[in-house]
């Protein structure tokens, strides 16, 4: 059953990531699903060139994406320090968590309430951590905590 769920999860992930990339459509046809997913993390809020640098750095520094997944996020962050500034290095956490979500299940589920995140939202933001309601609630909590 677990493997069936995982296949469904991977299909869902691939579908939203493909839609996510449709408008920009960089030359990524030869990339695997995991590479699409990792690149989706890299390019979120970043210029394409910066995303490409981070992506290529991970590809050359690690044996495979499985190795990235089991590496501590701060170590991945350090390995990026040569090619990326602080904001780009922050992608390390997102990338490791995304790889874990695909591997362990839970891709596309809200981390706060556990409900499935709307597909439209995932298409815009494949690695959204929260559904839209929880995102608002979390932002509200952060705003309140800042005072
Ligand atoms: Zn939620």
Q: What is the pLDDT of residues 37-91, one digit of tens each?
A: 888 888 878 888 899 999 999 999 999 999 999 999 999 999 998 888 888 888 8
Apex CA 86: angle with CA 134 and CA 123, to 5°?
40
Q: How far is the CA of 127 from the centre of ligand 1 (A)?
A: 14
Phi, psi for 116 (deg, rounded to 5): -65, 135
Q: How far is the CA of 100 from the centre of ligand 1 (A)?
A: 19
Q: How far is the CA of 139 from the centre of ligand 1 (A)?
A: 12
Average pLDDT, the chain: 84
Q: How far is the CA of 20 from the centre of ligand 1 (A)?
A: 21
Q: How far is the CA of 107 from the centre of ligand 1 (A)?
A: 13
Nearest to 111 by CA among 131, 91, 141: 131
The reported pLDDT for the residue numbered 25 is 47
Q: What share of the chain is helix, strand, coil (3-state, %, to 5)?
A: 65, 0, 35
Q: What is the mean pLDDT of residues 12-39?
A: 71
Q: How far is the CA of 130 from the centre of ligand 1 (A)?
A: 5
Q: How far is the CA of 46 from the centre of ligand 1 (A)?
A: 26
Q: How far is the CA of 74 from the centre of ligand 1 (A)?
A: 27
Q: How far is the CA of 58 from the centre of ligand 1 (A)?
A: 31
Domains of the chain (ranges plus CATH)?
A: 2-145 (1.10.340)
Q: What is the mean pLDDT of residues 104-116?
A: 89
Question: Is pLDDT at 126 greater than 50 in this prediction?
Answer: yes
* Out of 9-13, 26-30, 57-61, least confident range: 26-30
The residue behind tokens 């997913």 is 37
The reported pLDDT for the residue numbered 44 is 79
């Amino acid at each position: 059953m677990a493997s069936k769920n995982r296949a469904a999860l991977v299909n869902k992930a691939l579908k939203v990531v493909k839609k996510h990339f449709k408008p920009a459509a960089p030359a990524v046809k030869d990339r695997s699903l995991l590479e699409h997913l990792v690149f989706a993390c890299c390019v979120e809020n970043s210029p394409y060139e910066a995303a490409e640098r981070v992506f290529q750095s991970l590809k050359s520094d690690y044996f495979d994406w499985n190795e990235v997944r089991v590496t501590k996020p701060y170590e991945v962050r350090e390995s990026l320090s040569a090619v990326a500034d602080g904001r780009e290095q922050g992608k390390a956490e997102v990338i490791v968590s995304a790889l874990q979500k695909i591997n362990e299940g839970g891709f596309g589920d809200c981390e706060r309430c556990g409900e499935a995140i709307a597909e439209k939202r995932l298409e815009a933001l494949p690695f959204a951590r929260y559904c839209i309601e929880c995102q608002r609630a979390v932002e509200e909590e952060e705003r309140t905590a800042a005072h």
